[in-house]
Amino acid sequence: MINVLFAAKAERWDTYEAPLRAAFAELGLDVDLRTEFAQEQVDYIVYAPNSDVQDFTPYTRCKAVLNLWAGVEAVVGNDTLTQPLARMVDYGLTQGMVEWVTGHVLRHHLGMDLHIKGQDGVWRDYVPPLAEDRRVTILGLGALGMACAKALRGLGFTVTGWSRTPKEADGITCLHGADGLAKALERADILVLLLPNTPATENTVDAAALARMPKGAFIVNPGRGPLIDDDALLAALDRGQIAHATLDVFRVEPLPADHPYWAHPDVTVTPHIASETRPESASRVIAENVRRGEAGEPFLHLVDRSAGY
Ligand code: NDP
């Protein structure tokens, strides 16, 4: 019997219990799945960083902590966590992000707001360029960034991506390093942020970065709030350097009601809904990692603790 502790907010249990049981059964795993166990009996922890489990020391038998979220910034620095930590890479999460990013990029590319907001009797005959003449830059070419890059490339956009280590992808210009970032920003008619929140990525989009971007560029941030220097972005919006920012994530969430982003005419706020882990597909990812742990095979999607993601 494999003891799996589900450590997440109570409402998640209702959503995940049946799909997890089904996924374990599908792989023939004899799992006792519960929300409570004697700590020293737990073999795996299915984990959300906002759960009550914050001290991993008593989980002496635990072979891995399997995160339900893609972002691990709230757990990766936990000194009590000595077990392997896997993050969530889930088909449903990825597909949801591709749809959200594609939708918001197309909104800005096609100038949809001109017609949606401007129902005022003015005949605005704006013709957008073809996608191939619009340059989209994606910072972060991981599970989500690369999937978005490929989808946008598939629609014909001229796509540049930037990552920490070198990457290659058909039809996508892949850059890395400080020089690569400068080049990636210079060609960002639309900038999409899909970097994790780590000490190295904080304020990647600061005043200098914003000044490098083409005048009138758009920003779409489904990554994390700290990637952007908020004051610098507000200043860049006010002087028209940035035409519009669509922001899904913030340094403080929910975004406080008096935050200037709410009232700014060139900011769209969405409430951290760009994409969610989907219980059915995510449960299969969790079950596969338990199977691997039991078979002595390497875990999938392990977090590099020193890099912070
Ligand atoms: P991955 O870990 O797969 O990818 C992260 C990417 O960022 C990699 O390409 C990595 O480079 C790059 N990167 C990390 N640090 C640096 C750095 N210092 N300089 C340059 N590039 C860097 O993550 P995912 O794609 O799965 O997720 C990305 C983020 O999306 C998550 O961390 C989370 O914050 C956010 N997210 C938001 C959601 C929402 O609903 N708003 C939902 C899910 C995730 P390399 O490839 O070289 O390692």
Residues with active-site annotation? 224, 272
Domain limits, CATH 3.40.50.720, in the chain: 2-90+277-295, 91-269
> From the CB of residue 263, how many other CB atoms can be counted at a distance below 10 Å?
9
Q: Which residue has the CA at smallest separation from atom 44 of ligand 1?
A: 70
Q: Is the pTM of this model over 0.85?
A: yes
Please choose from 88, 97, 195 the residue to mutate so as to test ligand 1's pocket, defined by most ligand atoms within 8 A of CB.
195
**Confidence (pLDDT) at 29:** 98
**Cβ contacts of 219 within 8 Å, gap of 6 or more:** 190, 191, 193, 205, 228, 233, 242, 244, 245, 246, 247
Indicate the burial class of 240 (C-beta count within 10 angstroms; 0-12, 13-18, 19 or more).
exposed
Distance CA 308, CA 178 (A): 19
**Confidence (pLDDT) at 271:** 98
Average pLDDT over all residues of the chain: 97
Radius of gyration of the chain (CA): 21
Closest CA to 36 of 51, 21, 20: 51
- Per-residue pLDDT of 174-216, as tens digits, reads 999 999 999 999 999 999 999 999 999 999 999 999 999 999 9
Q: Per-residue pLDDT for 307 more than 80?
A: yes
Atom of ligand 1 lying closest to residue 275 CA:
40
- Per-residue pLDDT of 228-281, as tens digits, reads 999 999 999 999 999 999 999 999 999 999 999 999 999 999 999 999 999 999
CA of 146 to the centre of ligand 1 (A): 10
> Which residue in this structure is represented by tokens 């017609």?
115
Atom of ligand 1 lying closest to residue 222 CA:
41
**Cβ contacts of 238 within 8 Å, gap of 6 or more:** none
Q: CATH topology for 91-269?
A: Rossmann fold (3.40.50)
Pocket flag, ligand 1, residue 70 (CB < 6 Å): yes
Query: For residue 142, what pLDDT band results from cuts at 50, 70 and 90?
Result: very high
CATH classification code of 2-90+277-295: 3.40.50.720
**Confidence (pLDDT) at 38:** 97
Q: Which of 103-107, 123-127, 217-221, 256-260 has the lowest mean pLDDT?
A: 123-127
**Cβ contacts of 48 within 8 Å, gap of 6 or more:** 7, 8, 9, 12, 67, 68, 69
**Cβ contacts of 278 within 8 Å, gap of 6 or more:** 90, 91, 92, 93, 96
- Per-residue pLDDT of 68-117, as tens digits, reads 999 999 999 999 999 999 999 999 999 999 999 999 999 999 999 998 87
Query: For residue 153, what pLDDT band results from cuts at 50, 70 and 90?
Result: very high
> From the CB of residue 11, how many other CB atoms can be counted at a distance below 10 Å?
8
